[in-house]
Structure 1
Amino acid sequence: MSTRLIRAALPATLAVCGLLCVSAPAQAALGGKPMTPPSGSTSTTLSPSARAAAQGVMASITTAANYTVKQTTLDSGTVVREYIAQDGNVFGIAWMGPRVDLPNLLGDYFPQYASGAAALRKARGARGPVDYEQPGLVVRSGGHMGAFVGQAWLPQALPPGVSGDDIR
């Protein structure tokens, strides 16, 4: 393989690795049960008023009228927020940090997202943020190596009074 070909393929390879790598799997899945915080992270339960005052907390759980938000900071520095319906299932996920494990976070929805994102990138002819929106799944993902951000939610599973804009 020529050096020129390797250099051409390296940025795309690194980008894919960055999206798929995390030091320990989060073990959460959109549409499933919330994650068990992996080794290297801690879990703390806070009241809504205490959450606003806590700046250095590794993980927190807050409750709204019809859903719970669980925030966990992984040992990689990535912050994952899970939006959990009263039935205990995750209807939305938001992330921000140096690494994200989308196959784990999106669970059974990852293949749908991956094929849709590939089609969007092919049509656009470039890399960049992905705004994937279908009736059963919405994923907004962007950033760059070391600084990824995004949200994903299941429109059909949003509790009454909750919109996709609430997933942050």
Structure 2
Amino acid sequence: MMSARALLLALPLGFALALASVSAQAGLGRPLLDAAQDGKPVAQVQRFSAQAVSGATSAAAASAVTQQTVLTPQGVTVTEYANAQGTVFALTWKGPFKPDLQQLLGSYFAPYLKAANAQTQQLNLSMVKTGDIVVNVAGRMRGFVGVAWVPTLVPAGFDPSKLQP
């Protein structure tokens, strides 16, 4: 049996090892370059104008958008959209399981959770809209879909409400 002193010395070491094993992952507000760490890329990285994705017709829609799709180990297809600075501003997902929303939403998970808990949710549908984040989730057994975006990061001319999982 370990002494109390040995246990106290071992705890910080265990905590440090746990932190070191966590890899950086893409998600809202993070660099798109980290997306490949979320799963296996299933499509070529695509670059296009905001107008090409959202169907916007304004001249401001020339903002560059980069899209990357990965397949997570759980079988969920996640597509992440990045602005010209390479920051993920929106993502969609579709798969047999609900993805790890804490991973996907990153620092926006807490505002999402707070807003979701403050409103009445339907059994198979959750729609959260705040100034910080918009998340639409639907699903049932073996069929989960969702769309999330950060309004302040969306490039001019891009309409994230037109994104489909």
* Same fold (TM > 0.5): yes
* Structure 2 counterpart of 1:154: 150
Deviation, 1:163, is 1.0
Where in structure 2 are there 5+ consecutive unaligned residues? Answer: 1-21, 50-63
CA deviation vs aligned residue, 1:130-151 (integer Å, no higher than 9, x gap): 1101122110011023221101
Counterpart code for 1:112? P
Q: Structure 1 residue aligned with 2:93, among 61, 72, 95? A: 95
Counterpart code for 2:25? Q
**Partner Cα separation in structure 2 for residue 33 and residue 91 of structure 1:** 10
Contact 1:116 1:132 in 2 (8 A): yes
* Structure 2 counterpart of 1:143: 139
Change (3 A) 1:105 1:26: farther
Residue 129 (str. 1) matches residue 125 (str. 2): yes
Counterpart code for 1:95? W
Change (3 A) 1:79 1:39: closer
**Partner Cα separation in structure 1 for residue 100 and residue 157 of structure 2:** 29
Report the 3-state secondary structure (helix = DSSP H, G, I; strand = E; otherwise coil) of the residue aligned with 1:29: coil
**Partner Cα separation in structure 2 for residue 36 and residue 162 of structure 1:** 21
Counterpart code for 2:84? Q
Change (3 A) 1:38 1:98: farther
Contact 1:40 1:74 in 2 (8 A): yes
**Partner Cα separation in structure 2 for residue 40 and residue 120 of structure 1:** 32
Contact 1:25 1:104 in 2 (8 A): no
Report the 3-state secondary structure (helix = DSSP H, G, I; strand = E; otherwise coil) of the residue aligned with 2:116: helix
Deviation, 1:33, is 1.1
Please tell me whether Structure 1 or Structure 2 has the larger radius of gyration of its CA atoms. Answer: 2
Instruction: Give the total of aligned pairs.
Output: 127
Change (3 A) 1:162 1:110: same
Where in structure 1 are there 5+ consecutive unaligned residues? Answer: 1-23, 44-57
* Structure 1 counterpart of 2:105: 106
Report the 3-state secondary structure (helix = DSSP H, G, I; strand = E; otherwise coil) of the residue aligned with 1:37: helix
Change (3 A) 1:26 1:33: same
Report the 3-state secondary structure (helix = DSSP H, G, I; strand = E; otherwise coil) of the residue aligned with 2:109: helix
